[in-house]
Amino acid sequence: MAAISKKNPVDLIFSFVTAIASFSVIIFILGILYVLVSESSLAISRFGIIKFLTSTDWNPVTESFGALTNIYGTIVTTFLSLLIAIPVAIGIAIFVTEISPNFLKTPIGIAIELLAAIPSIIYGMWGLFTLSPIMSNYVEPFLKKITAGIPLVSVLFQGTPMGIDILTASIILSIMIIPFTASISRDSFNLTPAVVKESAYALGATKWEVVKNVVIPYSKLGVFGGIVLSLGRALGETMAVAFVLGNNHRITTSLLDAAATITVTLANEFAEADNDVYLSALFYLALVLFVMSFITLAIAKFFLLKAERKYSR
């Protein structure tokens, strides 16, 4: 107590205000959790936890609801979009920090930030009117052709190329999340001390070797943090996906099939859900997404902390 009372009163007020700001976050999260749990209690008691998570039936007419198709769609689109986005984003970051001439750095940087500023509904409209015809007319028939006959891979490209499917949705998602990973990776690449890089060059390392052995290991944690941020965005993205995914409550093996994600189902069906169980089931879905995001972020944080400790040793 003595230590605090010695402090300047302004400092006291300052620490008090920041503490309130931080605690408000926790209160918000708890408030959201409370609303989700209480609103979904009807569906929880009706369907249970295991049954809701494993049932693929989503049928408002018979009031029978299961989340598995939605969970599947969410995971697959998120995974695919990260698969596409991460290499591109890191490529952009390496180019901007290590390779590009100075006069190009600013325009590319601004372009990346603009990409993050575009509202998701615009991505959705663009996906529906521009990207999806291109996908269905050119890209998907081509993918079908080159993968035909290859076991396992050809399964991924079965069916009629419609352009309204998991693949198109994942590509749009990946474009949306590239800026997050790219700009954070760029910032952490920039933090690599110039002395270290110069020493490597002095030892005769090539540019590729410097990037591979110095820059990337040095900024691994930052890049990983950027990926986690992208992951969160991809899990929760709604409007852009709603336009090109087709809201199809079935589990399919082909990437050329329509699917449904949790957020898309919520956006599409919330306004018209007219009976209590239906509404409650939608809240239950939201709760599932909340828990899913929490778990993935917790796992990511765990690895981040582990890596940090290993690094600081």
Partner 1 sequence: MKVLLRIALVLAVMFSMTHVEAAETLNGAGATFPYPVYSAWAFDYNKITGVQLNYQSIGSGGGVRQITERTVHFGASDDPLKPEQLQKDRLLQFPAVIGGVVPVANLDGINPGQLKLDSDTLCKIFLGEIKTWDAAAVQKLNPGLKLPQGEITVVYRSDGSGTTAIFTHYLAEACPDWKNKVGEGKAVKFPIGIGGKGNEGVANYVKRTRNAVGYVEFAYAKQNKLDYAQLKNKAGNFVEPGFASFEDAAETGDFDAKKDFHLWLTNAPGKGSWPIAGATFILLAKEKTDTNKNVVKFFDWAFKNGDNKAKELVYVPLPKSLKEKIKAYWKANGLQ
Comparing CB distances to partner 1, the nearer of 33 and 267 is 267
> Does 100 participate in binding partner 1 (rule CB under 8 A)?
no
> Does 283 participate in binding partner 1 (rule CB under 8 A)?
no
- Map the footprint of partner 1 across residues 147-176, applying CB under 8 A: 160, 162-164
Helix runs in the chain, H state only: 2-5, 9-47, 50-54, 68-94, 102-117, 120-126, 132-134, 140-147, 166-190, 194-202, 207-210, 216-236, 239-245, 262-269, 276-312
> Does 59 participate in binding partner 1 (rule CB under 8 A)?
yes
Comparing CB distances to partner 1, the nearer of 183 and 280 is 280
Q: ∠ CA(254), CA(147), CA(227), 5° rounding?
A: 60
Comparing CB distances to partner 1, the nearer of 177 and 244 is 244
Single out the segment in contact with partner 1 by CB under 8 A; choices: 108-116, 139-147, 186-194, 263-271: 263-271
Q: Which position has the token pair 């325009």?
A: 107
Write the CA distances from 38 to 43, 64, 283, 284, integer angstroms. 10, 20, 9, 9
Q: What is the CA radius of gyration of the chain?
A: 23
Cβ 246 to partner 1 shortest distance, Å: 4
Write the CA distances from 180 to 93, 158, 185, 305, integer angstroms. 11, 32, 8, 20
What burial class does residue 84 get, using C-beta atoms within 10 Å of its C-beta: 0-12 exposed, 13-18 middle, 19+ buried?
middle
- Map the footprint of partner 1 across residues 220-249, applying CB under 8 A: 242-243, 246-249
Residue 211: helix, strand or coil by DSSP? helix
> Does 56 participate in binding partner 1 (rule CB under 8 A)?
no
Give the phi and the psi of residue 55 in degrees, each rounded to 5.
-85, 135
Cβ 61 to partner 1 shortest distance, Å: 4
Comparing CB distances to partner 1, the nearer of 94 and 164 is 164
Single out the segment in contact with partner 1 by CB under 8 A; choices: 31-39, 95-103, 114-122, 261-269: 261-269
DSSP 6: T
Single out the segment in contact with partner 1 by CB under 8 A; choices: 22-30, 35-43, 58-66, 84-92: 58-66
Comparing CB distances to partner 1, the nearer of 111 and 134 is 134
In sequence order, what are the beta bridge partners of 97? none
Single out the segment in contact with partner 1 by CB under 8 A; choices: 126-134, 179-187, 196-204, 213-221: 126-134
> Does 284 participate in binding partner 1 (rule CB under 8 A)?
no
Binding residues (CB under 8 A) for partner 1: these are: 57-62, 128-129, 133, 136, 160, 162-164, 242-243, 246-249, 258, 264, 267-269, 271-274
